[in-house]
Structure 1
Amino acid sequence: MRKKQLSMVTLSVSLSLTLALSACSSKPEATSQPTAEASKGKFDKKLTITAFNSGAFNPGSQMPAREDDPIRQMLEKAVNVDFQMTIPPADQQLAKLNTMIASGDIPDLIFMTSRATAVEYYNQGILADLDKNDLNNYPDLQNRFKPEDWESMKYKGKTIGTPGYELVSGVRGWWLRNDWLTKLNLKAPTTPDELLEVMKAFTFKDPDGNGKNDTYGFAAGVGKDGSLITLGWEQIFWMFGVNPTIVDQVGGKLVFGNTDPRMKEALAFINKMLEAKVVDPDWVSINEAPAIDKKMYSGKIGIIINDWRRMEKANSALMKELSGEIPDWQVIAPPKGPNGDQTIGLKAFQNNSWAISKTAAKDPEKLNRILALLQYWYTDKDFYPWASYGLKTIGWDNVSGSVQRIQENLASKEISEKYRWTSNYSLPRRTNDDLFFNFTNPKTAEFQKINLTYVKANTTNPYILPDPTDTKLSERNKFTNESLLKFMMGKDPLTKWDDYLAALDSKFDYAKYKDLVAKQLTEAGVMK
């Protein structure tokens, strides 16, 4: 998978970057305190460390020269290195990395945006596996992440990287127009049937009081690649305990979401929604997240699946601009499905990582210096505000003994743009750090907590990697998406479900695919 998992966990990178901006017009205050290791002379010999940072939160910003970059100076001083960081354009990450590798200019430290990418480069002999003893020399770095995050760094029993940045779970959840609910004297839905009834009321009972038939109960879309899990439908599927792209384990047995019997229940319910005309008809042409945002801001939708920060100040301003009001949007618990499922989505899997090249790892001194650099970057308490909030006296300052953000600078577009580059160091930021996200709506953290309550463990699917022998993969995925869409829309009746299953086996080697999945999960130790 070539995406950052922000996905399901993933944060929306553009939003994270905006929130992470550090800014001010005054000259930043630089640190003058050496680290303990540097002061003891542990790293007397200065080394050059090259890094390829495709995990940068704002790759489009121009990094300043060393003399104007106090954050780089602190990193370099901490472990006595010349730190040279390349930040590739977001749409050229792999192309640029491959060019560097082909020319023999392999970076020492390489950010991997997905486990699949890390495994691919490891199998090509480009990345090193990290010896347990090497990592044990850096306990603070080990303790910085949870044991399950370190487990995700393993491939065939080898640790092939260190965790990159924490991913946020429960990003997308159920939003409901509470003002419409109150006006129509309804209660928040707790089951699929109740959900459909509320959607009908929001569609046909003139909840906005304008005397026109111009509102809808729900809005969704379909990804450009035909995906049904990115723009609203995923949470409908989860009410029935399935997801068309997910492989899970139930009772020690593998469950494939796109063929599980519960998928039929989900498809039947979605067909009822569409037949009832409670879904904004634009859903067939919506294929990007901004279009979903626009629907939410339009003032004509009653229930929608969206990001947990959608009532922050900037988004509220867009609502006011587009619809003339700021609706009383509230995040609600997902309705409980017929099988007892009440899931918002999957817990974010630690899918990104820092890998060390084999070339760099051959030099023990360089290997240790890289690990020391990562430990300082990710765990030094004094450095954390610089990495997460930007420059001192610009993005933050110490006030009465505590770190506080400088709000007037964060609100300045000119200053924010000038110091946008600082967010490229923000990888150590923690997902429970309210200062980093700089919430302006006191309910935002509450909305996130609601979503997190209904996150499902994600212990199987991330370990499934594309297999080069699976020549029918893309065709099979396309057929699956098209078939499920036809069932949803009623173009194919669910009486043809068995025909769909038979076609997967006869035309798309589905049995072989399931065997490959079982083999991978067994090798990864995920399934016994």
Structure 2
Amino acid sequence: MRDKRRITGALAVVMAGSMILSACASQESKQPSGSPGPSGNGGKTDKTIKVTAYHTGAYNPQVPMPAREDDPIRQMLEKAVNVDFNMIIPPSDQKIAKLNTMIASGDIPDMIFMPDRATAIQYYDQGILADLDSYLKDYPALQSRFKPEEWEAMKYKGKTFGTPGYEFVNGIQGWWIRNDWLTKLGLKAPTTPDELMNVMKAFTFNDPDGNGKNDTYGFVTGIGKDGSLTSMGWQMIFWMFGVNPNTVDMVDGKLTFDNSDPRMQEALAYIKSMLDAKVVDPDWVTINDGTALDKKMYAGKSGILIGDWRRMEKTSQQAMKDVSGEVPDWIVIPPVKGPHGDQTIGLKSFQNNSWVISKTAAKDPEKVKRILALLQYWYTDKDFYPWANYGIKGVSWDVVDGKIQRLTENMSKKEVSDKYLWTTNYALPRRADDALYFNFTNPRTTDFQKINLQYVKPNPVNPFIVPDPNDRLYSDRNKYVNEMFLKFMMGKEPLSNWDAFLKTLDSKFEYAKFKEYATTQLKEAGALK
């Protein structure tokens, strides 16, 4: 659920592959009725076809997959469409490197899970991937499984290069606030920037925990290890003004580059006022991962933070009790509405991952059909869904009184959970709103997610921008932006120098050239008229 579609970081993936590419039974379930055959319409064939899948989308790649006889999920997949299914799961740090090695040696997998669109396009341009348009019409269940915009993300140069991989979960990060502190101080949840500042000041200076000490803060956040400001909490303050660092957006039909947008200057000024007012936990400059932010929440000395919608699950509540001796009344609230009417928690996740089929496999049209039939069964068969997404029947789930129930108590035993952790590598078809899959223990968790989902902003252009491999300044430009924004926030660089910053961004880091390249790309992709 780590859901992440910024253009930063994609350049490294693109360039990494370019040089190599250029060289170029015991628990078995019966097959459910109506399962799709190779033709997609329930047909069968006596010929077993061997299919090799390179699975970079595995949720637990470090866990070895069992042998066929110990893997009823694999057995169901194989029986459904009559294939010999072999799944290669590379280590997390070798996903692309190992694939490039296989391609260079001519050992190209039949189907490949592509982690992002930039990588898929790179392989497509190198002639590695097959077009699927002429086949997909025969698999209506697979087509209807995903939304039109998710299929649109599978197109490049007018061709469909893959099928969607898994749904991203939207609305993960949201605004958490101490409701008990609001009640004690006679305050309401903030809805405007001014109200937010007043609440943060009260949480900092009005002794909300009643211990008589000046040891609380209104807001706790951090920065990425690379100096980025888009993941630890500051991003929500930026979004309050309708912008976010290193983001390209569309506002009222016009393309906007947020780094140089006047609203960015407003956002930085507001953040500076927060820091000047000393309402932000001063440790924010050293908090650079989720674990550190968790510890701050557990300690009970912060009133507002940005966090995962599952922060009040039982495990987190226990951690709070262990650290601070209490479980505060943390609640999720709608994002604060900014001065221009912006009220958002971020951009909608783009269907960035995919399953693709190699041209080598496509030399045999029947193999393509069998792969698509496999995907259709995997992603759409109702009887197979709990096996793929919850694990083994009788171990991690079962049917009780006609309804599927998770066997949480059984799976909480380490010897059981460790033994069956490999099943998660099949869980790609899980629905993004499947509360049973996420196994919530707090009934309010679903409500918290629903609040966040109301404020997810459309993402019409940013995902279509793939960095120019010839842009030698791409990384340095982003680094400069991050460094300057931090200086503006902390007062080390006066905001009166904003125009000078923009001039340097253009003259030294060729931001105008990046804008021109991005605009051209978006027009070619049809995302900009």
Q: TM-score range by the shorter chain?
A: over 0.9
Tell me if the contact between 2:31 and 2:80 (Cα under 8 Å) persists in the aligned partners.
no
CA distance in 2, matches of 1:251, 1:173: 25
Which residue does 1:150 correspond to in 2? 151
Tell me if the contact between 2:26 and 2:69 (Cα under 8 Å) persists in the aligned partners.
no
Matches within 5 A, 1:8-23: none
CA distance in 2, matches of 1:472, 1:407: 50
Stretches of structure 1 that go unaligned for 5 or more consecutive residues are: 10-26
Deviation at 1:28, TM superposition (A): 7.3
Matches within 5 A, 1:155-166: 155-166=156-167
Which residue does 2:343 correspond to in 1? 342
Which residue does 1:126 correspond to in 2? 128
Q: Deviations over 1:318-358 (max 9, x none)?
A: 11111111110000011110101111111111111111111
SS in 2 for 1:508: coil
Q: Deviations over 1:339-389 (max 9, x none)?
A: 011111111111111111111112101111100000000001110010011
Tell me if the contact between 2:5 and 2:352 (Cα under 8 Å) persists in the aligned partners.
no
Alignment-mate amino acid for residue 31 of structure 1: S
Which residue does 1:7 correspond to in 2? 4
Verify: 1:31 aligned to 2:29, yes or no.
yes
Q: Deviations over 1:129-166 (max 9, x none)?
A: 212x3000000000000000000111121111100000
Which residue does 1:63 correspond to in 2? 65
Which residue does 2:276 correspond to in 1? 275
Which residue does 1:328 correspond to in 2? 329
Which residue does 2:245 correspond to in 1? 244
Which residue does 1:448 correspond to in 2? 449
Q: TM-score normalized by structure 2?
A: 0.93
Q: TM-score normalized by structure 1?
A: 0.94
Deviation at 1:126, TM superposition (A): 1.4
Which residue does 2:393 correspond to in 1? 392
Q: Deviations over 1:51-88 (max 9, x none)?
A: 01111111111211100000000000011111000111
CA distance in 2, matches of 1:102, 1:35: 42
SS in 2 for 1:270: helix
Which residue does 2:17 correspond to in 1? none
CA distance in 1, matches of 2:117, 2:445: 30
Q: Deviations over 1:430-466 (max 9, x none)?
A: 0111111111001000000000011100111000001
Alignment-mate amino acid for residue 83 of structure 1: F
SS in 2 for 1:258: helix
Tell me if the contact between 1:8 and 1:169 (Cα under 8 Å) persists in the aligned partners.
no
Q: Deviations over 1:292-311 (max 9, x none)?
A: 11111111110000000000
Matches within 5 A, 1:89-488: 89-131=91-133, 133-488=134-489
CA distance in 2, matches of 1:469, 1:453: 39
Alignment-mate amino acid for residue 378 of structure 1: Y
Between 1:156-165 and 1:96-105, the stretch displaced more is 96-105
Aligned length: 507
Residue 74 to residue 262, structure 1, CA distance change in 2 (3 Å): same
Tell me if the contact between 1:241 and 1:339 (Cα under 8 Å) persists in the aligned partners.
yes
CA distance in 2, matches of 1:66, 1:394: 18
Give the RMSD, CA atoms, in angstroms. Answer: 1.6
Deviation at 1:205, TM superposition (A): 1.2
Q: Deviations over 1:276-319 (max 9, x none)?
A: 11111111111112111111111111000000000001111111
1:45 aligns with one of 33, 44, 47: 47
CA distance in 1, matches of 2:185, 2:32: 64
SS in 2 for 1:84: strand
Alignment-mate amino acid for residue 84 of structure 1: N
